[in-house]
Chain A
C-alpha cells in the first residue's frame, strides 16, 4: 500500500493503492495532507492530548465518499486550523459510508495548498486491489 503525487498541468494528482478500502482511505488522507501542507504528513505532537472527534459520512457512491472524506479533512484545516489523526476507521462500500474516530491537533501552519478534491478524471477500482487516482485543485 502507498501513495504518490502525479503530475497535472495546473495542479496535482494523487494515486493511492492498498489491499483494503480501510487502508486506501488512510493512505489517501496521508497523501492529501502532504499536498495540503507542502510537506510530510503531520504527526501528533508528543505530550499533547488531542481533542476527540468522530466523522460520519454517508454518500451516493464510493467516489463521493473519497471526495467527501478529503473535504472533511480540508474543512478542519481551513476552518478550525487542526488536522485529524484517525485512531479507528471503518469504511463500508455498500452502502458507501465511513466512520472515523480520531484526535484533533493544531495544524503545523503555513499555507493550505489544496482548494478541493475533484471528480475530474477520477479512477476508483476495487479489483484486483483498491486503487484510486484523483486530481486536486491547487
Chain B
C-alpha cells in the first residue's frame, strides 16, 4: 500500500488509484510525518482505498489525521456521493448514528469548582446513567419516542428539559428534517425506549473542563468561552436504537445491492443509490436516530445543569454547540466549478462550514479543543475536519500497558478526578492509546480545514 502513497505537502498524502482494483477517485489523507509514523498497519489506508471504489464518489476518499481502522469505512473518513448517481452507505455513517459532542460553558471560575468537585462529581455520576444493562434512562411511551425521533430536541424542551436556546445552538436546530420514525424498526425502538439520557459505554463521557487557552478572542467571545471558567463536554450518541437502525439497513441493502448492480469490496460498505426507495428509507431512519442522539445529549445536559445548579445556583451553563461526527447529510457543494447536491458521509469526522464551531474531544486526561470551520474546508473537503484524537493502540494492548490504578494515580497527579462504571476497563481509554490530540488539531489547522479557538483542560470525568 505504501508505494501508492505520495506526500503532496506537509499535511497531505495522496493515495493513487491502483492501490486496490476499481478505485474511482484517489484517496487524500491529512497527515504530517508524526501522524503518518503512527500508522501501525495498512488496514485504515486499505479502507480509504475501498471507499474510493464506491459508485458515485466525488473528488477523493478523504481521511482526517485522526484516522484509524474502522469497519468498512475508516474512522476519520469522509466521502461525498453524487445525489443522483451515488450511493448512501450505512457503513459510512457507522453503528452509533450521530455520535457527537455537546459543549456547555459558564462563567463559573474553575478555582471555585475545586472547592466542590469532590461532591459534584459523584452527584453527576448519579444523575447521568452510564453503561447500564437495561437502559437506565427516562422510559418513553411509544408516542413520545416517535415524537423524539421526528422532532428531536424540541420534544425535550416541551417536556421541561433545557431551553429553546439550546436547540438554536445544536446542529440543524436540533432536528434533522425528513426523519421517518415509521422506518425505525420496533426492535430499534425497543432498544432505545429506556436509553434516552444515558451515556452508554466505550469512549463516551461527561467531562468537566476549564477554558485553558484562547487562540481567537473574537470567536471565543462569540461562543461564550471565558478563560479560566468551567465548561462541560458531553460525548455520546444514539445508543442501541442507532445501532439497530444500522444493522437493519445493512440487511436490507445487502439484498437490494444486486438489483442496482452494485458490488463492494467489503460487506460493511454495502449501499444503494441515494435516490432509491431503500436509500430514502434508510435516510429517514438515520435522521430519526440522529434526532434521538441529539435529544439524548440534550437530556444529559439538562441533568448536568440540575447538578451544577445545586452547587452554583446563580451561574447557569449554556450550550455552546452540539455537533455529530457520525452522519450523512445531503449538502450543496461547489466541486470542479459547478454546484452539486452530494450525500456527504462523515464517519468520525466533523462538519466544518465556515464559522461553524467544531468540537474536538481529546483522550481521557488530555486537552480538548474548540475550532471553527473555514472556507477552505468547504472548498477542499466538503466542509469536513477531524473529530478527536484517534486511537493508535488496541484496547487489549492499552490494558496490558496501563492498569486502572496506575491510570487513576497518573490522572490525579494532573488534577483530574475520574468516576467510571467499570474501573477495571478504564485503562482501555488511557491517553497513551490515542494520538496526541494537539498534534491532530495542528494538522487540520495547518491544512486550513479549521482554526483553533480555544483549548479546554480536563478537571473531572465520568466514563461510561
Q: Within the assembled complex, what's the spacing in Å between the Cα atoms of A71 and B393? A: 26
User: Which residues of chain A from 107 to 138 have a CB within 8 Å of any chain B CB?
Assistant: 107, 109-113, 115-116, 118-122, 135, 137-138
Binary interface profile of A, 76-90, with partner B (CB < 8 Å = 1, else 0)?
Answer: 011111000000000
Q: Is the CB of B422 within 8 A of A10?
A: no
Q: Within the assembled complex, what's the spacing in Å between the Cα atoms of A119 and B421? A: 29
Q: Within the assembled complex, what's the spacing in Å between the Cα atoms of A81 and B310? A: 33
Q: Within the assembled complex, what's the spacing in Å between the Cα atoms of A119 and B130? A: 27
Instruction: Confirm or deny: A9 has a beta carbon within 8 angstroms of a beta carbon on chain B.
Output: yes
Q: Is the CB of A111 within 8 A of B43?
A: no
Instruction: Confirm or deny: B201 has a beta carbon within 8 angstroms of a beta carbon on chain A.
Output: yes
Instruction: Confirm or deny: A46 has a beta carbon within 8 angstroms of a beta carbon on chain B.
Output: no
Instruction: Confirm or deny: A26 has a beta carbon within 8 angstroms of a beta carbon on chain B.
Output: no
Q: Within the assembled complex, what's the spacing in Å between the Cα atoms of A12 and B399? A: 13
CB distance from A13 to the nearest CB of B (A): 9
CB distance from A125 to the nearest CB of B (A): 15
Residues of B contacting A: mostly: mixed
Q: Within the assembled complex, what's the spacing in Å between the Cα atoms of A5 and B396? A: 9
Q: Is the CB of B391 within 8 A of A111?
A: no
Q: A9-B393, A116-B243, A120-B268 are in contact. Are A110 and B255 (CB under 8 A)?
A: no
Instruction: Confirm or deny: B336 has a beta carbon within 8 angstroms of a beta carbon on chain A.
Output: no
Q: Within the assembled complex, what's the spacing in Å between the Cα atoms of A38 and B201? A: 12
Q: Is the CB of A10 within 8 A of B70?
A: yes
A5 contact set on B, CB distance < 8 A: 396
CB distance from A83 to the nearest CB of B (A): 10
Instruction: Confirm or deny: B96 has a beta carbon within 8 angstroms of a beta carbon on chain A.
Output: yes
Instruction: Confirm or deny: B134 has a beta carbon within 8 angstroms of a beta carbon on chain A.
Output: yes
Instruction: Confirm or deny: B355 has a beta carbon within 8 angstroms of a beta carbon on chain A.
Output: no
A77 contact set on B, CB distance < 8 A: 133
Closest chain A residue to B75 by CB distance?
Answer: A10
Instruction: Confirm or deny: B69 has a beta carbon within 8 angstroms of a beta carbon on chain A.
Output: yes
Q: A8-B69, A112-B133, A121-B266 are in contact. Are A64 and B251 (CB under 8 A)?
A: yes
Instruction: Confirm or deny: A49 has a beta carbon within 8 angstroms of a beta carbon on chain B.
Output: no
Q: Is the CB of B255 within 8 A of A9?
A: no
Q: Is the CB of A138 within 8 A of B395?
A: yes
Q: Is the CB of A7 within 8 A of B70?
A: no
Q: Is the CB of B246 within 8 A of A119?
A: no
Contact of A115 among B96, B130, B132, B133 (CB under 8 A): B96
Q: Is the CB of B69 within 8 A of A115?
A: no
User: Which residues of chain A from 1 to 60 have a CB within 8 Å of any chain B CB?
Assistant: 5, 7-12, 38, 60
Q: Is the CB of B69 within 8 A of A118?
A: no
Q: Is the CB of B201 within 8 A of A78?
A: no
Q: Is the CB of B246 within 8 A of A116?
A: yes
Contact of B422 among A8, A38, A64 (CB under 8 A): A38
Q: Is the CB of B91 within 8 A of A110?
A: no
Instruction: Confirm or deny: A63 has a beta carbon within 8 angstroms of a beta carbon on chain B.
Output: yes
Q: Within the assembled complex, what's the spacing in Å between the Cα atoms of A113 and B429? A: 13
Instruction: Confirm or deny: B425 has a beta carbon within 8 angstroms of a beta carbon on chain A.
Output: yes
A67 contact set on B, CB distance < 8 A: 247
Residues of A contacting B: mostly: loop
Q: A115-B202, A120-B91 are in contact. Are A110 and B131 (CB under 8 A)?
A: yes
Q: A80-B134, A81-B133 are in contact. Are A113 and B425 (CB under 8 A)?
A: yes
Q: Within the assembled complex, what's the spacing in Å between the Cα atoms of A118 and B71? A: 7
Q: Within the assembled complex, what's the spacing in Å between the Cα atoms of A115 and B360? A: 23
A79 contact set on B, CB distance < 8 A: 134, 190-191, 240
Instruction: Confirm or deny: B394 has a beta carbon within 8 angstroms of a beta carbon on chain A.
Output: yes
Closest chain A residue to B422 by CB distance?
Answer: A111
Instruction: Confirm or deny: B424 has a beta carbon within 8 angstroms of a beta carbon on chain A.
Output: yes
A78 contact set on B, CB distance < 8 A: 133-135, 191, 240
Q: Is the CB of B268 within 8 A of A118?
A: yes
Binary interface profile of B, 225-262, with partner A (CB < 8 Å = 1, else 0)?
Answer: 00000000000000010010011001100110000000
Closest chain A residue to B47 by CB distance?
Answer: A120
Q: Is the CB of A111 within 8 A of B191?
A: no
CB distance from B32 to the nearest CB of A (A): 19
CB distance from B278 to the nearest CB of A (A): 15
Binary interface profile of B, 76-102, with partner A (CB < 8 Å = 1, else 0)?
Answer: 000000000000000100111000000
Q: Is the CB of B240 within 8 A of A60?
A: no
User: Which residues of chain B from 428 to 454 have a CB within 8 Å of any chain A CB?
Assistant: none
B201 contact set on A, CB distance < 8 A: 111-113, 115, 138
A121 contact set on B, CB distance < 8 A: 43, 71, 266, 268
Q: Within the assembled complex, what's the spacing in Å between the Cα atoms of A62 and B255? A: 14
- Chain A residues with a Cβ under 8 A of chain B: 5, 7-12, 38, 60, 63-64, 67, 71, 75, 77-81, 107, 109-113, 115-116, 118-122, 135, 137-138
6 closest pairs, A vs B, by CB?
A: A120-B71, A111-B131, A120-B268, A7-B394, A119-B267, A81-B134
Q: 25 A-B residue contacts at CB 8 Å?
A: A5-B396, A7-B394, A7-B397, A9-B43, A9-B68, A10-B75, A10-B391, A10-B394, A12-B395, A60-B255, A63-B267, A67-B247, A80-B134, A109-B133, A111-B131, A111-B421, A112-B131, A112-B133, A112-B201, A118-B72, A118-B95, A120-B72, A120-B267, A121-B71, A137-B95
